[in-house]
A = this chain, B = another copy of it.
Amino acid sequence: MFDLKLYFTEKNKQINAALDEILKEDSSWIAEAMKYSLMAGGKRIRPVLCMAAAEAVRGNPKDVLPAACAIEMIHTYSLIHDDLPAMDDDELRRGKPTCHVAYDEATAILAGDALLTLAFQTLSSVRAEGHSRQWLHIAGIIAHAAGYRGMIEGQMRDIASEGTLPDLNALEDMHALKTGALIQASVKSGAILGGGSRTQIEHLEVYAKNIGLAFQVADDILNVEGNQEIMGKAVGTDSTRKKSTYPSVMGIEKSKAFAGNLINNALQSLDVFGTESDPLRAVAMYIIERKR
């Protein structure tokens, strides 16, 4: 039986050490704000997926660490900006005050900007002789996923959808953009940098698409059924804000069944791989079993 907890512990150690290394010599106010949010105890699912995808195609997961770090920086920047008063106006994140509460609004905006910029600086600073083309390629994939046709458009639609009538297709599109795109980019980047074949990359894209959506459905379910203390953030907020969510559209039981189906699809797409994709299998299971 594959030990996912141990796997996450080991990978998180490497990811956190790499993130730490990048920012360790900076003690400016803005660098402190960046570190505050970056080191606030995130689960590191995206960077772990990136490394696990490299492993699935028999690449060395350590070689993709700059991509894993860049993706986590982009994820963190998006949380900082989403939490701003002009957006979701959240005061708590991972059990700690959000960046604009701990610092101030201007600093939070700039810390987000700085993490986004640092992500691309990290991707551009890789000195892998003869592999520049690949790194440039995955920088483009990540930028597209994070951009106005991906994550940012998802956030726009999420804001616009508050208080509107729920519609399943619109909800799915919104999540595919807001959460799915960066998760897909994480897996695809790892697979490309790990030297995966075209077929392997295609299978991993199907995997990523399914777990990406399942992740969001599970998040919606947790917002209804989750434990505030375990999660470190408020629950029931979607309902208060009259947000369209899977539970609000299809009910809680059907939402759980839907998430389960997505995970089955994800697992099936891994059939072409051997034990080297066990970490990806375990992550898929974890997504619907997690408590936070």
Contacts and interface: CB of A to CB of B under 8 A. Distances in A.
Q: How many copies does the complex hold?
A: 2
A7 interface: no
Interface in A121-142: 121, 123-126, 132-133, 135-137, 139-140
A292 interface: no
A263 interface: no
A117 interface: yes
B124 A109 contact: no
Contacts of A104: 86
Interface of A: 26, 28-31, 34, 77, 81, 84, 86-87, 104-107, 109-114, 116-118, 120-121, 123-126, 132-133, 135-137, 139-140, 143-144, 146-149, 152-153, 155-156, 159-160
A111 B86 CA distance: 13
Contacts of A137: 124
A148 B117 contact: yes
Contacts of A148: 26, 28, 30-31, 34, 110-111, 114, 117-118
A143 B121 CA distance: 5
A264 B107 CA distance: 37
A214 B110 CA distance: 25
Given A30-B156, A86-B105, A132-B136, 12 more contacts: A28-B153, A30-B152, A30-B153, A34-B148, A106-B159, A109-B109, A110-B148, A110-B155, A110-B156, A117-B148, A124-B143, A139-B139
A152 B133 CA distance: 29
Contacts of A117: 116, 143, 146-148, 152
Given A109-B81, A113-B152, A147 B124 contact: no
Contacts of A30: 148, 152-153, 156
A188 to B, nearest CB: 14
Contact of A110 (B34, B81, B133): B81
Contacts of A110: 81, 148, 152, 155-156
Nearest to A130: B133
Contacts of A28: 148, 153, 156
